[in-house]
Amino acid sequence: MKLIVVTPAGREKYLRVLSHHVLKSSRVHEWHLWDNCRNEQDRAYLRQLASSDPRIRIKTLPGANGSFDVIGRFFRFCDDPEAFYLRLDDDIVFLEDGFFEKYMERVLPERGSALWYAPLIINNAICNTFIKYLSAVQVEGPLTCQAMCPFSWAHPTFPLAMHPVFIEAVRTGRLGDFRVPDREVSASRFSINAIGFFGSEIVELGDLFHPPGDDEEEWLSAILPVKLGRPGKVFGDLIAVHFSFYPQEKALLGTTILEDYYDLAGLPAPVYKKTVVRLKDRLRPWKKNRNGTPPPKYTITLSKDRAGTRR
């Protein structure tokens, strides 16, 4: 079965590392870039990227200017019943070796058992909960098992703690510490940073598949599965990394975390405008948020006992 990767695109500083992971795999038949750029510089990079590999197709829609509410309309291009469509956010900054081959090996025998299929996503609120309670990684700090967790989604402190630990795990051959058993997700919104559907089911469902409003994530991950009586499924032994949600991005770009993911890929550091943290904010780590509460704190460590972890 053909694997077509689709990405709402895009921001050059993230796409450069994502393209490394996508295009090095011969298992990827095509990569569709959904042009939802916020500026012409990023759009020019999309065209440059498309010229570098014949598998890349740029898909366009009138009025697509970087807003979230247009993304769901791009699913009209997922119309090949002989393909499997894997949607990856443009800020997926790490995919484990052999990701696409392993993903398709997992998903093909599962056909019909679930509506959507996702890997275990680092920095995804529901997957964060799976990691805390099911993996060998020690996570101390508040989490709720909901897509827009008021702690790990709404603040940068969780990914600021998680990313460096994950990067160290990759460098030291301890990716297996993060793996968990497969889990189904039912009647719950799931952040669709990395999520896939069979093209035949998209075509068969027709208009029912396509989000009726502006919220593709709520419709595809929660409401449509409820209507059809079919869950989503997370493959807990297959890992992808999502860089940031919008409440987290500014703080993360003030660090070298993105550069570290480029280093893992063997790529030169990206050139982008770094976030500047004001001196008074550096001196006030206790600064409260708009709702009057301090940001949550996290301590994340790899298990001292490596026995039984899966690479």
Q: Which two tokens stand for residue 2?
A: 């053909």
Which range of residues forms the domain containing residue 62?
Answer: 2-302
83-88/232-242 β-pairing: unpaired
Residue 166 reports pLDDT greater than 80: yes
DSSP string, 94-131: EE-TTHHHHHHHHHGGGTTT-SEEEEEEET-HHHHHHH
Q: Which helix (H) or strand (E) holds 239?
A: strand 232-242
The beta-strand segments (E) located in 75-207 are 83-88, 92-95, 116-122, 137-140, 183-185, 194-198
In a domain, 236, yes or no: yes
Residue 178 is part of a domain; what is its CATH number?
Answer: 3.90.550.40
CA distances from 214 to 68, 110, 159, 190 (A): 8, 29, 27, 16
Band (214; pLDDT cuts 50, 70, 90): confident
Crossing angle for the helix pair 12-23 and 257-264, nearest 10 degrees? 20
- % pLDDT > 70, the chain: 92
Structurally, the chain folds into a number of domains equal to: 1
Query: Given this model, what pLDDT does residue 307 score?
Result: 47
Query: Given this model, what pLDDT does residue 283 score?
Result: 45
In a domain, 311, yes or no: no
Predicted TM-score of the model (pTM): 0.93
Query: Mapping DSSP to helix (H, G, I), strand (E, B) and coil, where does residue 279 land?
Result: helix
Residue 127 reports pLDDT greater than 80: yes
pLDDT digits (tens, 9 = 90+) for 265-299: 999 999 888 777 665 554 454 455 555 678 999 99
Query: Given this model, what pLDDT does residue 306 score?
Result: 58
In a domain, 309, yes or no: no
Q: Of 193, 187, 172, which is closest to residue 122 (Cα–Cα)?
A: 193
Residues 94-112, buried b or exposed e (16+ Cβ, 10 A)?
bbbeebbebbbebbeeeee
Q: Which residue bears the tokens 């719950």?
A: 188
pLDDT digits (tens, 9 = 90+) for 5-55: 999 998 999 999 999 999 999 999 999 999 999 999 999 999 999 999 999
